[in-house]
Amino acid sequence: MTEVFTPVETKDGSNTFYSDEFGEWFHSREGARHEAQRTYIEAANISDRAQQDKVSILDVCYGLGYNTAAAMETILSANPQCFLDLRALEIDVEVARSAIAHNLTQHYSPTVEQALKDLANHYEAKSETILAQLLLGDARQQIQILIDQAWQADVIFLDPFSPPHCPQLWTLEFLGLVAKCLNPNGGVLVTYSCAAAVRSALKLVGLSIGSTAAGGRQWPGTIAGFSLETLASPSQKLSQQEQEHLKTKAAVPYRDPTLSSTATEILERRSREQLASDLIPTGPWRKEWQKRWQKREQRRLSDREQ
């Protein structure tokens, strides 16, 4: 049975959908467009990258198309001559078609709105400065098409549903394939997730990681690249708490050796590995960290009063 998507307004006036299949909203209720702009466009510095002749972007989990649309708008505004080469992975094209049917894309420029319509209806959008393709199907298989083509992205938007609900696209094996599509010369991957399991997997596939602004969610996001120079901003360095989190059982990655496991199989596999892990239990660590934080705050307040 095809899922029906009904628009729900978020706090910035833009709309999103709720997925009954995954039990989650597609975007933060604080603002769907705001999240696309902060978490993906600003974090990846798209406006500066648009000063080049060409920018390549991989949008993992295209959804309603907001991340792609925001990238297109930013590039067209920053440098209309910049050529955008974009690939998007999506398992359910009805999400994008529903967004168009409900006029959720009408606030974008005519060029971008037409590109979104072409992607949803024909899986390809072409113009003098845009070549975008939508690869429909399980991302674990579709991304291998890009690897076979030796296609690489300057920027990767990693935007699946959360790891507990969609672990298939956060596994060590899948992220290894994603990393193969990342340009080693300055390319960056950005995602809303700061889960220790995700961050540890990104490190295990050879990427350096840092934090990004929350973008409407409660927690910061993550930026990753092949070199520390890519993550040059001091604000992007992991905090002491984030570094310690990666030493707990929460950092045990999701695994999918065959790239065909179900969500249940992946979650159960990780639970078994966590039980066998010698890493610090996450719950006690959180309590200890909270105690240390409270003591530091008390000292700070005491120093201010003296």
pLDDT at 1 exceeding the cut of 60: no
pLDDT at 292 exceeding the cut of 80: no
pLDDT at 230 exceeding the cut of 70: no
| Mean pLDDT of the 176-199 span | 96
Residue 305 pLDDT class (50, 70, 90 cuts): low
pLDDT at 9 exceeding the cut of 60: yes
For residue 166, is it within any domain? yes
The mean pLDDT of the chain is 92
For residue 154, is it within any domain? yes
Q: Which domain holds residue 76?
A: 30-238
The per-residue pLDDT for 256 is: 98
pLDDT at 298 exceeding the cut of 70: no
| Mean pLDDT of the 89-109 span | 95
The per-residue pLDDT for 213 is: 77
For residue 305, is it within any domain? no
Say how far apart CA 73 and CA 67 lie, in whole Å.
10
CA distances from 229 to 173, 200, 216, 267 (A): 25, 19, 27, 34
CATH of the domain at 165: 3.40.50.150
For residue 2, is it within any domain? no
The per-residue pLDDT for 306 is: 57
Percent share of the chain, pLDDT over 90: 81
The per-residue pLDDT for 3 is: 85
The per-residue pLDDT for 233 is: 61
Give Cβ neighbours of residue 5 (< 8 Å, ≥ 6 apart). 17, 18, 19, 94, 95, 98, 99, 102
Question: Which range, of 63-72, 98-107, 220-229, 267-276, averages the lowest pLDDT?
Answer: 220-229
For residue 279, is it within any domain? no
Say how far apart CA 77 and CA 80 lie, in whole Å.
6
pLDDT at 237 exceeding the cut of 90: no
Q: Render pLDDT for 119-136 as a digit per residue (tens, 0 to 9).
A: 999 999 999 999 999 999
pLDDT at 155 exceeding the cut of 90: yes
For residue 290, is it within any domain? no
Percent share of the chain, pLDDT over 70: 92
For residue 195, is it within any domain? yes
The per-residue pLDDT for 284 is: 87
pLDDT at 95 exceeding the cut of 80: yes
The count of structural domains within the chain is: 1
For residue 70, is it within any domain? yes
